[in-house]
Amino acid sequence: MNYRHVFHAGNFADVVKHTILTRILAYLMRKDAPFRVIDTHAGVGLYDLKGAAAEKTGEWVDGIGRLIDQDFSEPAKDLLAPYLDAVRAQNPDGGLRFYPGSPLITRNMLRLQDRLMALELHPVDVEALRENFAGDFQVRVTHVDGWQALGTHLPPKEKRGLVLIDPPFEERNEFERMTQNLIKAHKRWPTGLYSLWYPIKDVADVDKFVALLQASGIPKILRLELTIRAPSDPPRLHGTGMIVINPPFVLEEEMRTLLPLLADVLSDEGRGQWRIDWVAGE
């Protein structure tokens, strides 16, 4: 499948992915020490939900479109606040016209001492990304293959932070490539926090990916998944997953609060399911 961000901005997978992202960032902010976020496949940063690409699929309607006006009770309301605040920050006049990708969601939470490295290979997208962060001294936009950058940008000088890996899945062997590059990155920075997004379309492919992770020898691997419908034949996107390496100790509990609610809001006719388990422990 081709999961270039612009066609799927704000869909159910983005909602889950970016909710997890903000919970990780909120944890990093508990300490005053600076941190760095490295976004390996950053996209353009900001998406027009009324633009041609987003209108072509309309996926945001059943994603952020369902969530933005939900009235959740505590503690879910507080846990979702950083994500929804980042979305609302791009729509200051109200409504829902623009959706921030992971670089802008991250930027919305950075403190003065923190930094973001936004990496993008697509030549058109990287120029749009540069425009969206023009003059921002806390963000460095680089035209580079995010996979290659994992070998040259780790560890960051801050020694704290997150590597967000969110590829477009344009290649058939993307799961294998993701695992191989994660192993290389982890050897360079074993204490780093890594978050890897993946689509759930073919369950067998996901099972093979998890088996590769288990065989990698990397410890502390948490899996978070949400599906909005049952698998189909032929396969279609029916779920979204995140692998988190060295997860914050509060993340599992927070997502046990949020995933059931998100499954209920985002699923087709109440058929949503969620999963949290440890692919590898200590």
Give 222's contacts (C-beta < 8 A, 6+ positions apart): 243, 244, 245, 247, 251, 252, 276, 277, 278, 279
Q: How far apart are CA 60 and CA 15, in angstroms?
A: 9
Reference 261, options 250, 272, 247, 269; nearest CA is 272
Find residue 277's DSSP bridge partners: 223
Provide the pLDDT for residue 169: 86
Of 14, 136, 166, 205, catalytic: 166
User: Looking at residues 116-140, what average pLDDT do you find?
Assistant: 95
Q: Predicted confidence band at 4 (pLDDT cuts at 50, 70, 90)?
A: low
196 with 242: CB under 8 angstroms?
A: yes
95-99, 244-248, 254-258 — which is least confidently predicted? 95-99
Q: How far apart are CA 182 and CA 175, in angstroms?
A: 11
Global confidence as pTM? 0.95
User: pLDDT tens, 16-67?
Assistant: 999 999 999 999 999 999 999 999 999 999 999 988 877 777 889 999 999 9
Measured between its terminal Cα atoms, the distance across the chain in Å is 33
Tell me the pairing of strands 139-143 and 115-120: parallel
- Residue 112: how many other CB atoms lie within 10 Å: 6
Residue 107 scores a pLDDT above 60: yes
156-165, 194-203, 250-259, 265-274 — which is least confidently predicted? 265-274
Please indicate whether residue 7 or residue 88 has the higher confidence score (pLDDT): 88
Q: How far apart are CA 224 and CA 211, in angstroms?
A: 15
> Token pair of 69, please?
């006006």
Q: How far apart are CA 45 and CA 42, in angstroms?
A: 7
Phi-psi region of 230 (alpha: psi -120 to 50; beta: other; left: phi over 0): beta
Backbone angles phi, psi at 227, to 5 degrees: -120, 145
Q: Predicted confidence band at 239 (pLDDT cuts at 50, 70, 90)?
A: very high
C-alpha dihedral, 98 to 101 to 103 to 108, nearest 10°: 50
Q: How far apart are CA 183 and CA 147, in angstroms?
A: 12
User: pLDDT tens, 133-142?
Assistant: 999 999 999 9
Crossing angle for the helix pair 102-109 and 123-132, to the nearest 10 degrees: 20
Give residue 185's identity as a one-letter amino acid code.
A
Give 101's contacts (C-beta < 8 A, 6+ positions apart): 5, 9, 42, 43, 44, 45, 46, 47
Provide the pLDDT for residue 234: 83
Tell me the pairing of strands 36-39 and 115-120: parallel
- For this structure, is 69 an active site residue? no
Please report, rounded to a whole number, the percentage of residues in the chain having pLDDT higher than 70.
Answer: 98
